[in-house]
Amino acid sequence: MKILVPVKRVIDYNVKVRVKSDNTGVELANVKMSMNPFDEIAVEEALRIKEAGNAEEVIVVSVGPAQAQETLRTALAMGADRAILVKTEDAVEPLAIAKILKAIVAEENPGLVILGKQAIDNDCNQTGQMLAALLEWPQGTFASEVVLADGTVNVTREIDGGLETVKLTLPAIVTADLRLNEPRYASLPNIMKAKRKTLDTKEPSDYGVDTARRVTTLKVEEPSKREAGVMVENVAELVAKLRDEAGVI
């Protein structure tokens, strides 16, 4: 069985995001970029499934600029077998990503697609669900545990009320949550080996997908700064402030 893992290049989670002066987006120039943390968890889970003998090949794919090759090389250094970059300078929306992935699934015929539940740059949380709908495959989202059996996969997913376990018939889509695993670090020998692994470059037109945006961003603003708190002398003063100033009671 093959496992396909889509990954995204995003601003590193340790970097403070700055809004452009014209409020059209966030500043990307001279900013450290890295693999989306949830996608890194997805790569780790795919590698663990392969190491357990339940898969023969792990393929990573990214849709983005040429610099996304660095993200794919990171996944290859972790242990993925080969990579596909669908190169585009456009900011591709989740639906177009899902359509590209659908075409790649048709070519590669994986038994399982694992991806992060969302990207930390836009927090859309849409691509996995859209891909499942396009493929008409079962899906297990927000996975905190993935267990493969004969032709099926049990996915324990995090929900508001606790945990829910669903049984999916393969092929299936799984989106990884934060507590699924802890990704490994790529060793120096594996980083060197990753440079020799196959990385194919495609374009959206190769899959017949139009990446033109359907949603326009009108304005991007930083969150308003929180006001300093105040000390109150007693409960009566607290209640008065909540009633008269905050208007919450």
* Angle of the 94-108 helix axis to the 127-135 helix axis, nearest 10: 50
Q: How far apart are CA 45 and CA 87, in angstroms?
A: 25
Q: Determine if residue 63 is left, alpha or beta; phi over 0 gives left, psi from -120 to 50 gives alpha, anything else beta.
A: beta
Q: pLDDT band at residue 94, thresholds of 50, 70 and 90?
A: very high
Residue 248, pLDDT score: 79
Q: Which of residues 155 and 232 earns the better pLDDT score?
A: 155
Query: Model's pTM, two decimal places?
Result: 0.86
Q: What is the pLDDT of residues 194-210, one digit of tens each?
A: 999 999 999 999 999 99
For the cut 80, the answer to whether the pLDDT of residue 249 exceeds it is no
Q: What is the pLDDT of residues 17-60, one digit of tens each?
A: 888 888 888 888 888 999 999 999 999 999 999 999 999 999 99
Q: What b-and-e string marks burial along 41-72, b requiring 16 or more CB atoms within 10 Å of the CB?
A: bbbbbbbbbbeeebbeebbbbbbbeeebbebb
Residue 7, pLDDT score: 97
Residue 117, pLDDT score: 95
Task: Give percent above pLDDT 90 in the chain.
Answer: 72
Q: What is the pLDDT of residues 108-137, one digit of tens each?
A: 999 999 999 999 998 999 999 999 999 999
The structural domains of the chain, ordered by start, are: 2-246 (3.40.50.620)
Structure tokens that stand for 240 in this block: 């008065």
Average pLDDT, the chain: 93
**Strand-pair category, 82-87 with 139-148:** unpaired
Residue 28, pLDDT score: 83
Tell me the three-class secondary structure of 184-239, residue by residue. CCCCHHHHHHHCCCCEEEECHHHHCCCCCCCCCCCCCCCCCCCCCCCCCCCHHHHH
For the cut 90, the answer to whether the pLDDT of residue 213 exceeds it is no
